[in-house]
Amino acid sequence: MLQLELLPQWEFFLYLVLSFSFHFYSFYEVFLVSREYEDELDQAFDLEADTMFWGFKKDPMDFEWTFWMEWGRGYILWLLFCHLIVSQISSLYMKKYKPWVLMAYGMAACWFLLGTNGLIMILLHTSVSYFMAQFKNPVLTWMSSLLLLLTLRIPALEVIKRGWYASENEYYLLIFTLTVRCLYYTSFSLEYCWAKEKMHHSFLWMLLYVFYYPVLHNGPIITFDDFHKQMISQQSGGLKSNLGIFIWGTVRILFWWWLAELMIHLMYMHAIYSTPSYLEAVSYWTLGGLALAQVLFFYVKYLVLFGVPALFIRMDGLKPPALPRCVSTMYGFSGMWRSFDVGLHNFLIRYIYIPMGGSRCSMFKMLFSTAVTFAFVSYWHGSHSYLWSWAVLNWLGITAENGVKRLVSLPVVHEFISQVLSARTRQRLHAALASVSTTLLIFSNLIFLGGNEVGRIYWNRIFWKGWPWATLSVFGFLYCYAHVGIKWQKIFSRD
């Protein structure tokens, strides 16, 4: 591995100041455009009026945020607090039976929110997966999981499930829960197939794992291997330390929630993304600001959506997956996958990427295992056309980054670069290459968040009509971001 050297302080400080300046100025442009189009967007999307942020209206067009905030305020937060009370009481008075108490609570909470039909559906999917695991064949386990996912998209079955509930939100809660539960029962069943001893792979353990309430509806993902190890050796702190953890965690979550709400009150990026004509008309600064606002809101949103269950997991004496790393400090596809949804990354690596060959086999097997991994992610998220576009771009990005790493690791190339370039020059070259990778990473994420039409508009305006100045300007901005990300990685690396 080539050794990089920290840049002179003045140079890094310059990149840092420019990075923050680019963020804030582009956000200011988005703010101005949001005010300019506010009346039209209000008529089209019914912006929500409130007095929380100086009377600015709220952009309600991020379905995921609106959906989970409504459910959080309605029932889920209260059920999580009840889980915490049950967990703490069982730790004090019936520690030996705590896992089964939590299992019973999770099933009861699931029945309360999703009804008898919803609970039966989750039990049915879990039972089918457990039955297929008895054959101890991972291929059969995967086939059953993929078919169970497919049943969520069959129109005739969708009509039946919708008939169980009085509102669309209740139906979607069932679908989201079943989609996330798919990863959980798949993890258990694959571990069952691989296990030599079945002692801790009973159906009761599967129910405990599948119905563990803090992660029931939206994750984050914890593999059964990690869950089981932690559950049998959980170590709860004292009352004082637990109270400190809970208060500090709550303060952090409230700050992230406030920041997310501030963003969608000041910048109507989701509503503008839903109106292609506005995207075609806005300035390049606004276009860039909208892209940054989209991906940063996605990051802050998941700090909240994963941060809440992570807090309750920690109060149970378990260790949740790390929360997402700030996307403004990421400078490549590999880092994004490792550091954003850590739980999903661990699942994909353990159950798909490594079994299919991984990076320690031939180049062909590595390409194939990476393609299968991204294909599954697209299928799991819904298999829409824009998801396949996103998957292909991510596969190409990961492949290119791994190809460059393999090339640089060759002794001849490594020695040549070491002799020709100084350590600081190598870091500048690294940042320059990373700026290209980050550009494509952001472009792929915009497709994931906004769809193919948004991707088409950005491609035409930045890379086609905007060549060379708009394109090179984007590379230049992201070159500064890359230096900040490289420094961040060196200081805060989790390795």
- Mean of pLDDT values over 380-409: 92
- Which phi and psi angles does 439 have, rounded to 5°? -60, -45
Model confidence at 111: pLDDT above 70: yes
The reported pLDDT for the residue numbered 417 is 86
3-17, 427-441, 465-479, range with the lowest pLDDT = 3-17
CA 370, CA 364: separation in Å to the nearest integer? 10
153-162, 219-228, 334-343, range with the lowest pLDDT = 334-343
- Rounded to 5°, angle at Cα 148 from 446 and 320: 60
For a pLDDT cut of 70, what percent of the chain falls above it? Answer: 96
Q: What is the CA radius of gyration of the chain?
A: 24
The reported pLDDT for the residue numbered 1 is 45
The residue to which tokens 């892209």 are assigned? 291
- Mean of pLDDT values over 452-457: 95
The reported pLDDT for the residue numbered 220 is 96
Which residues contact residue 160 at a Cβ distance below 8 angstroms, ignoring those fewer than 6 apart?
none
The reported pLDDT for the residue numbered 315 is 93
Model confidence at 236: pLDDT above 90: no
The reported pLDDT for the residue numbered 199 is 61
Amino acid at 308: V
Model confidence at 237: pLDDT above 80: no
152-166, 175-189, 404-418, range with the lowest pLDDT = 404-418
Model confidence at 361: pLDDT above 80: no
The reported pLDDT for the residue numbered 348 is 96
CA 210, CA 409: separation in Å to the nearest integer? 43
Answer yes or no: pTM beyond 0.85.
yes
Model confidence at 118: pLDDT above 80: yes
CA 368, CA 374: separation in Å to the nearest integer? 10
Judge contact between 5 and 418, C-beta under 8 A: no
Model confidence at 388: pLDDT above 90: yes
- Per-residue pLDDT band for 495 (boundaries 50, 70, 90) equals very low
Average model confidence (pLDDT) across the chain = 91
For a pLDDT cut of 90, what percent of the chain falls above it? Answer: 75
- Per-residue pLDDT band for 244 (boundaries 50, 70, 90) equals confident
The reported pLDDT for the residue numbered 7 is 82
The reported pLDDT for the residue numbered 493 is 64
Model confidence at 54: pLDDT above 90: no
DSSP letters for 201-226 = -SHHHHHHHHT-GGGTTT-----HHH
CA 489, CA 67: separation in Å to the nearest integer? 34
Which residues contact residue 56 at a Cβ distance below 8 angstroms, ignoring those fewer than 6 apart?
265, 266
Judge contact between 478 and 438, C-beta under 8 A: yes
- Which phi and psi angles does 201 have, rounded to 5°? -120, 40
43-52, 133-142, 153-162, range with the lowest pLDDT = 43-52
User: Is the model more confident about 426 or about 162?
Assistant: 162
Model confidence at 360: pLDDT above 80: no
The reported pLDDT for the residue numbered 52 is 84
- Per-residue pLDDT band for 489 (boundaries 50, 70, 90) equals confident
Model confidence at 353: pLDDT above 90: yes
The reported pLDDT for the residue numbered 444 is 94
Q: Which of these, 85, 99, 380, lies nearest to 242 by C-alpha position?
A: 85
- Per-residue pLDDT band for 108 (boundaries 50, 70, 90) equals very high
Q: Which of these, 212, 346, 261, 207, lies nearest to 53 by C-alpha position?
A: 261
pLDDT tens-place string over residues 365-382: 888 999 999 999 999 999
User: Is the model more confident about 387 or about 419?
Assistant: 387
- Mean of pLDDT values over 339-344: 93
List the catalytic residue out of 125, 265, 381, 414: 381
- Tell me whether residue 381 is one of the annotated catalytic residues: yes
CA trace torsion 180, 185, 190, 193 (10° rounding): 180
The reported pLDDT for the residue numbered 235 is 66
- Per-residue pLDDT band for 122 (boundaries 50, 70, 90) equals very high
CA 343, CA 302: separation in Å to the nearest integer? 12
- Per-residue pLDDT band for 403 (boundaries 50, 70, 90) equals confident
